[in-house]
Chains A and B, each alone.
Chain A
Amino acid sequence: MTPPTWRERLAGRMPEALAEEIDVFETQMTLRRAGKLEEKIFAETRLRRGIYGQRYDNGQRHDGVAQRTLAFPCGGLTKGPETVWDAPGMMRIKIPMGRLSVLQLEVLAELAEEYSDSILHVTTRQDIQLHFVHIEDTPDLMRRLAAVGITTREACGNSVRNVTACQFAGVCGDQAFDVSPYAHALAWYLLGHRDVQDFGRKFKIAFSGCKPHPCGLANFHDIGCIAVEKDGRRGFEFYVGGGLGAVPHQAKLLDPFVPEDELLPLSQAVCRVFAQHGERKNRARARLKFVVQKLGIDEFRRLVEVERDKIPPDERWTTYLAHLDVTDEKPLRPGRALTGAGSPALAAWRASNVRPQPQPGYVVATVRLPLGDLTSSQARRIADLARRFTGDTLCLTVEQNLVLRWVSEADLPELHAELVALGLGQAGASTIADITACPGTDTCKLGIAASRGLAGELGERLAARGDIHPDLAALHIKTSGCFNSCGQHHVADIGFLGVSRNVGGRRVPHFQLVVGGEWNNNGGSYGLAIGAFPSKRIPELVDRLTEVWLRERQPDERLQAFIKRAGRAKIKEALDDLRHVPTYEEDRSFYADWGDPRDYTIGDMGVGECAGEVVTATEFGLATSEREVFEAQLVLDGGDAPRAADLAYRAMLSAARALVTIDFADVADDEHQIVSEFRSRFHDTQLFHDRFAGAKFAAFLFSSHEVRAGQPTREQAHQKIEEAQLFIEAAHACYGKVQQLKASEKTAATQKPAKQPSA
């Protein structure tokens, strides 16, 4: 007898709507296989169900020797533009507020084993991601999730992503009140809502219980809600238009106090304004932050108010307020204080990973997950620990860890011993060794450098150092594989974003060092890049930077304040020698990324004709542009925003001119001619286009050239500098592309068969 399918087995155990949606998706898969559903439509369909692409899913991979076609058995069948049907993909699973039941965790563990690689990856949005998943497995995977109340709906795509919230909500001594039931209500209210189906881009919402701490990170979300009480009433400081991404924007205060009964309708109104006014054609400027920037917060507020008045009343706006206990947790054991410090390992773990709850005798214990990963076996054992010590729930964090709440303090020695046995008893949660990293080149299609490889290397080295100065331990390091900032490098004390550089005709993985960001105050300020360093020198850079800070700082001066006082120029000078890249023959390791022994490649750059010591005028020009953008930062630090913005524009011009000189050495030093030549030679030919971002970076130059703001604010100047840095990175990539083209042309010319003499 054939065992029942998952669909048959789980019938009646899935919410009807979810079961139906999954059936519909399975039908859409059938239509796509039959060629009856356009690949573009199917792509957005699967994205809205959390089924995302992964690196090499275009069927091409450079194996370190040559670019190869991956001969998947599906032939030409695709699941989206340039996305092969059979290629492994990523499944993003929404976990609102990161709250999981132990049963849900156990099911996730099973799914990771059967459909993925036995690894559950916690993201910076409190989601779980499974990698290397085949699309044919996704309907059953979704059914098994639906049967335990989890949906992947709108986990990706142009939709409302996972709603995040502080992992301490409800058990925090600093919170105005517990934001959990509000986040829960808004997440489920907007899920599949008709007003959020027509966005030009994704939309992110976060809740925080207090203002000074970073757990909710409300400042860089499309909607950020911070709990406040006013005259005994609950409400929210309501922020809009924040976002990291390539060019980060601080959120703007829409309303200092939105009463709890207005939370849902006001959020809905914001969504409607976004749907109406958000950019559609230019994906690079389609987030809400650009709408707010373009309209200004006052006009945006007016539009939201107009929209709010139009929305027909919905009883769900307030019905949830009678059930605010929906997210409450009940402790399993009585709260008892722990007497005695225990072993040194326990003491260290308690110091960094354990936080008291306001409820007497209880604490929150953070389980450090290296790079956000845990195995299926570990997940099951953690579920057992939750059942034994705390009850039914666990919570994932935006720092890619997991917390157990409502632990009786007296149980800590036993809990810690169990975690140690699992390999998860590491101290140092939320310290410099607990590094956040996006997937980077490991699995992400957009990755330029190995952010996880770097994070793993740094984490290992920092952990091995043992006795770290407490102020050093308190720093945050975050790494992103590209400019898109999924690793949240802008709000780290020390941030890194992956870039590449051309050295002697070969590509070398680098990271831009970003300093000056603030993790506290809900991600209160954003750092700026001060230069690119070879990937393999980053551990040395971290040591050097922190040594300089600890040695030269004023008493108790934090890194951010030190950099501001000492000046970026000093920091840059202290690190400048680390920019050197030895030749390939001297040290080949610089030409490979962390954790990947292949010769590094972006766009499969080979050895060009200019290999060797020759530095071209273009390279000099690009170096000039980097210097200018750095000067722009110094000027901004000095408080002169208009001049900083102008310097940033000049830096873009220098980079554009450097490219133009490749084939037009005599280009005049005239901005109109440079822009015009750049446009015709690199923009119109699409040579400057980024594979994923298209013309986005060229547009930064054009808009700066066309619209010169008279008196830009500090924030506008900051953004202009970010844009200039991205433009310069794109110029480096473009230069590599041009070199490769020229090398290919030359090879083709030399391989052309000699003309045979006629008989």
Chain B
Amino acid sequence: MQAQQLSVKLFAADPAAVVLEAFPPIFHRWIQESRIPHQLLIDVADYRHVPDGPGILLVGHQAHYAIDSERGPLGLLYSVKRDEPGELDGKLVEAFGDALAAARALEDDPARPIRFRGDRLRVAVMSRRLAPNSAETFAAARPALEVFAARVYPGRGPSIEHLADPREPFSVEIAVDGATALADLGQVS
């Protein structure tokens, strides 16, 4: 299945403990230090005033990073903005790798602004042209998603749930039972 503009969301372990105000200085520092070498980071947008919105957004050319609570609990939402269409399996590996690296960097930040739970993650394809949110898309995506989920959660029998609202972008949630830290997640790349 062809896909592009994937997003991956990793959820906060304790959303109520996250203070959004902590993130602008961190993201500005990431820009100053070119913290993500293969991406151009541009600016930081502050959407704290928007209820259940993108929170603090690190705007990039290739991708955005947001401490987001738009759909479901607060977490790090990594959204690829500029890529060519390609096979879903490769896109999953790439997007997840970037999202995980950013999440780890946030956990390791001296300000300790957030901890993540690793037992659940959401993947979406933000292109309705390539991936309308339908049962057919889910069926076409399922093989790649199963391979991907097995690599992220080796030996844990992950579930894959299709979030089937047809107006929303095509999205699935992948989850396992039991507490899981980021460090427990499998290497996919």
Taking beta carbons and an 8 Å cutoff, which residues of A are in contact with B? 2-6, 9, 55-56, 61, 63-65, 70-73, 86, 88, 106, 110, 113-114, 117-119, 131-132, 134, 140, 370-371, 373-378, 380, 422-424, 442-443, 453, 456, 459-460, 595-598
Contact = CB atoms under 8 A, between A and B. Distances in A.
Contact of A456 (B49, B59, B71, B127): B49
B50 A373 contact: yes
Interface in B25-79: 25, 28, 31-32, 40, 42-54, 57, 59, 61, 64, 66, 70-71
Given A88-B59, A597-B24, A375 B49 contact: no
A600 B78 CA distance: 28
Contacts of A377: 52, 70-71, 168
Nearest to A423: B51
Contacts of A140: 129
A380 B49 CA distance: 19
A657 B16 CA distance: 57
Given A88-B42, A134-B81, A110 B128 contact: yes
A113 B44 CA distance: 18
Given A119-B50, A119-B53, A459-B49, A375 B70 contact: yes
A118 B42 contact: no
Contact of B59 (A9, A63, A132, A376): A132
25 contacts: A3-B130, A6-B129, A55-B43, A61-B43, A63-B28, A70-B40, A70-B61, A72-B61, A88-B42, A106-B167, A110-B167, A114-B5, A114-B169, A118-B54, A134-B82, A373-B50, A375-B53, A376-B70, A377-B71, A378-B52, A443-B45, A456-B49, A595-B48, A597-B24, A597-B28
B187 interface: no
Given A70-B42, A88-B59, A2 B2 contact: yes
Contacts of A460: 49
A440 B51 CA distance: 21
Nearest to A109: B167
Contacts of A443: 45
A376 B50 CA distance: 11
Contacts of B99: none
Contacts of A596: 24, 28, 44, 46
B174 interface: no
A595 B46 contact: yes
A117 B129 contact: no
Contacts of B46: 442, 453, 456, 595-596
B127 A114 contact: yes
Interface in B115-168: 126-130, 167-168
Contacts of A106: 167
A371 to B, nearest CB: 5
Contact of B126 (A63, A113, A370, A378): A113
Contacts of B51: 370, 422-424
B47 A119 contact: yes
Given A64-B28, A456-B46, 11 more contacts: A3-B2, A63-B28, A73-B61, A86-B61, A106-B167, A114-B128, A117-B64, A370-B49, A375-B52, A377-B70, A380-B168
